[in-house]
């Protein structure tokens, strides 16, 4: 095989393996004449939607925001709620618009049918949890941990397992959600059942 053919073949194989192309880059699409424009600025970008709020709550303390978020997340009443996602929706009053827009798996709680049969209500007991690895706050971000204990209580004295969890809230302040603190992300760690 000729040395030029070997080099050309090796270059072509290398480019194919690495995902590079030897042809010129594609030309960008031309803008559509039918695209509606509103005002100045980029087109096709939706304005951020402000998250819902809890009337009378100031959102000034990240610890209180996390506490309210976790309390709402773990409070449900099968006599009033149509499904477990309603507790999640109430918790979104303390969340950032980005978190509120995410699809939750909250509506697929396998315990709901049993709870509904026993007409269960859940009331969360929450308290701050001192996490020694929690980073320090700054003007824009904060982290808080909440210990939550919840027991499903039904009619006729029915009682489910008591669940102990630690909820870690990542909070942000300012930006499109306004001047107060909002939960931008969270993680639940199981601390046991009883």
Sketch out the chain's domains with CATH numbers.
62-193 (3.10.450.230)
Give the whole-angstrom CA distance, residue 21 versus residue 39.
39
> Looking at residues 78-82, what average pLDDT do you find?
94
129 pLDDT above the threshold of 70? yes
**75 and 88 in contact (C-beta within 8 Å)?**
no
The percentage of residues in the chain with a pLDDT greater than 90, rounded to a whole number, is 48
Cα maximum dimension of the chain: 89
Where does the pLDDT of residue 176 fall: very low under 50, low under 70, confident under 90, or very high at 90 and above?
Answer: confident
For 127-135, which contacts have Cβ atoms below 8 Å and span 24 or more sequence positions?
128/63, 128/67, 129/166, 131/168
pTM of the model: 0.71
Residue whose C-alpha is closest to residue 182's, from 50, 88, 76 = 50
- In tens, the pLDDT along 40-64 reads 444 554 555 666 777 778 899 999 9
CA gap 82, 76 in Å, rounded: 10
What local confidence, expressed as pLDDT, does residue 11 receive? 35
Residue 56: the pLDDT is 76
User: How many Å from the N-terminal Cα to the C-terminal Cα in the chain?
Assistant: 75
Burial annotation 172-185 (CB, 10 A radius, 16+ → b, else e): bbeeebeebbbbbe
Residue 128 pLDDT grade (very low, low, confident, very high; cuts 50, 70, 90):
very high
Pairwise pLDDT comparison (30 vs 140), residue with the higher score: 140
Q: What is the pLDDT of residue 127?
A: 94
């Amino acid at each position: 095989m000729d040395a030029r053919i070997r080099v050309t073949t090796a270059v072509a194989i290398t480019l194919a393996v690495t995902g590079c192309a030897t042809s010129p880059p594609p030309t960008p699409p031309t803008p559509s004449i039918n695209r509606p424009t509103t005002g100045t600025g980029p087109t096709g970008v939706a304005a951020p939607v402000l998250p819902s709020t809890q009337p009378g709550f100031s959102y000034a303390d990240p610890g209180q925001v996390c506490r309210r978020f976790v309390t709402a997340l773990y409070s449900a009443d099968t006599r009033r709620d149509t499904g477990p996602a309603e507790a999640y929706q109430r918790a979104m009053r303390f969340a950032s618009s980005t978190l509120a827009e995410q699809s939750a798996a909250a509506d697929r709680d396998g315990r709901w049918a049993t709870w509904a049969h026993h007409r269960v209500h859940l009331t969360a007991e929450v308290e701050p949890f001192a996490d020694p690895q929690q980073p320090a706050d700054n003007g824009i971000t904060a982290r808080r941990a909440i210990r939550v204990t919840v027991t499903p209580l039904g009619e006729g004295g029915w009682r489910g397992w008591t669940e102990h969890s630690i909820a870690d809230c990542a909070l942000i302040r300012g930006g499109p959600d306004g001047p107060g603190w909002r939960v931008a992300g969270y993680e639940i760690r199981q601390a046991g059942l009883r």
